Structure 1
């Protein structure tokens, strides 16, 4: 080796760089093995690539962008988004690739209400799938700007791009015959009857809090923009996409064109499809608790730190997870782990980086 080093400056610099890189890789590998020497079936790769540069798909809840007690003004949501991105940027700073999706429940409900109010002023109401598209544009702008600002503050040169994302659903999905997803504001019984009779909305009582409109929630299959998303991610962009699970669309075979349908996709299921499509090393759902819990709100309440697919399915059967709250998050994680063999995480926004390091969160791994 020494004789080759003396040949010329170009080769010498290359070989010296190679030596330093080898030392770095060796030391990093030793540290990884030491950190995980007692782990069993942790689902995380022990390779240098995974430790130093994971590709993480992060699903951010819509409520994180409009926190409890806020009126929902632009300034409210901008402040909430800025706070959220101050946590998310830590994932990038740690050397990871980031793909981000977000919920849109509060925002879609607000836009829907604006549409209803606008009809009284003779402003035509837009279909539900258009309301979803509007939230993707609005929240995409906010997330781009606030994450860009957080990256600049850390001295990280990364481009952030958001994509209006459509999600194919099966027009024969049983959900279209059985709407179950509540959206929008709460109404009194009288208001609900008016909306049911005059506008044809499906209205149901929601846990004693009032009446809400319910819509179909079909299972997402594939994103129309999947190849564009993968190209951007593979090119080093931070991509914000599939907001609210994606805009539900079908392929009209007679007209040979894509059409939006009035439905709402579960954002967590949509995120799991995104994570699998982008070949993510891990899928992380951020919610308002650090871990999923057994015996929720009981004296023997216990945090789940790590569990296999089989164990989580058993917990579902035992009724540990609330429908419409933790249950869909767990189901989305199970879908990802089963289809990829890679781990999924559920944790709170301010515990995201700790969860990736195994210090917080619920980690779901293959059997």
Structure 2
């Protein structure tokens, strides 16, 4: 099977951990072990988050008094390269195939209404508890999709679409790509890439064991096997599980199977025995 595995940002830099390379390398090594189980028998593409990392790099750049801060798209590319490097190295240590990081651009529309209402938090909270909010437009196309296809054709495991990919837009007059001040939701970009690559399964890997209905109430329960229509009847927080649920819903609507759950359960999620499985439709066994 062809599998796209999307690592959440918290899978690489966990809540409460120091914002340093040592913690990220340690978590990348753990992620590599979980992903190696999938790569052993299946064709794997890995994407990853970068929310904590891009915010940290932006703060570091702003601290330089005599140097103009880098634009957000460049900072996004820096974080994509940094996390991609760690994952490439750790995965390369445990899988039996070549691994390559692909610095990825994601096409967005400058007329997307998301630019008028920034909603995506990046980086750590400031001393007053606030986080920087930036626009998060809809991903339309993964620019490096042909390169990713070529790598798969030659047996290479690609690590790509980090942080949803660097958001770019085409100039109206010259058609040239230019970076924009925004971030693309990593889960929606992973779902788009999985659909375009014809993946069989989309794994959305995080630090919890699945999606819960009636969260925060005495009736809270894990959703085990659901359809897009069943998800439409639930409500999920926009800042946490909401994007993952929407990504899973979109991929299942297109005919694939998506699974949301803990990173360490990647193999069981793929087998369909763990987490929340989102399928196009439920099949009722004959009596």
The 1-side partners of 2:86 and 2:127 are apart by 33
Give the match's secondary structure for 2:208.
coil
**TM-score, L = length of structure 1:** 0.74
The 2-side partners of 1:230 and 1:333 are apart by 22
Q: Does 1:80 align with 2:27?
A: yes
Cα deviation, 1:259-298, whole Å, max 9, x if unaligned, reads 0000011110011011011110111100111111112132
Equivalent position to 1:117, from 53, 63, 88: 63
2:238 maps to what in 1? 323
Choose between structure 1 and 2: higher helix proportion: 1
1:90 maps to what in 2? 37
Q: Does 1:279 align with 2:198?
A: yes
Q: Does 1:226 align with 2:140?
A: no
Structure 1 regions of 5+ residues with no counterpart? 1-53, 190-209
1:103 maps to what in 2? 49
1:159 maps to what in 2? 98
2:214 maps to what in 1? 295
Cα deviation, 1:7-42, whole Å, max 9, x if unaligned, reads xxxxxxxxxxxxxxxxxxxxxxxxxxxxxxxxxxxx
The 2-side partners of 1:279 and 1:255 are apart by 31
Point out which structure has higher relative CO (alpha carbons under 8 A, 6+ apart): 2
1:38 maps to what in 2? none
The 1-side partners of 2:131 and 2:27 are apart by 26
User: Does structure 1 retain, via aligned residues, the 8 Å contact 2:105–2:165?
Assistant: yes
Superposed counterparts of 1:59-74, under 5 Å: 59-74=6-21
User: Does structure 1 retain, via aligned residues, the 8 Å contact 2:227–2:249?
Assistant: no
Q: Does 1:144 align with 2:58?
A: no
User: Does structure 2 retain, via aligned residues, the 8 Å contact 1:103–1:245?
Assistant: yes
Equivalent position to 1:358, from 266, 272, 280: 272
Q: Does 1:305 align with 2:219?
A: no
Deviation, 1:256, is: 3.0
2:284 maps to what in 1? none
The 1-side partners of 2:88 and 2:33 are apart by 13
The 1-side partners of 2:121 and 2:21 are apart by 24
- The structure number with the bigger radius of gyration is 1
The 1-side partners of 2:131 and 2:89 are apart by 33
Structure 2 regions of 5+ residues with no counterpart? 282-287
Give structure 1 regions of 4+ aligned residues with deviation exceeding 3 angstroms.
none
The 2-side partners of 1:165 and 1:175 are apart by 21
Q: Which deviates more from structure 2 when the two are superposed, residues 214-223 or residues 295-304?
A: 295-304
Give the match's secondary structure for 2:63.
helix
User: Does structure 2 retain, via aligned residues, the 8 Å contact 1:113–1:185?
Assistant: no
Deviation, 1:211, is: 2.1
After superposition, the CA RMSD in angstroms is 1.3
The 2-side partners of 1:238 and 1:284 are apart by 15
**TM-score, L = length of structure 2:** 0.94
The 2-side partners of 1:272 and 1:90 are apart by 21
User: Does structure 1 retain, via aligned residues, the 8 Å contact 2:47–2:162?
Assistant: yes
Equivalent position to 1:171, from 97, 110, 125: 110
1:238 maps to what in 2? 157
Deviation, 1:178, is: 1.6
The 1-side partners of 2:111 and 2:8 are apart by 28
User: Does structure 2 retain, via aligned residues, the 8 Å contact 1:292–1:347?
Assistant: yes
Cα deviation, 1:237-274, whole Å, max 9, x if unaligned, reads 10000000010000003233110000011110011011
* Inter-CA distance 74–272: structure 2 relative to 1 (3 Å threshold): same
The 2-side partners of 1:184 and 1:72 are apart by 10
Give the match's secondary structure for 1:284.
strand
The 2-side partners of 1:265 and 1:72 are apart by 22
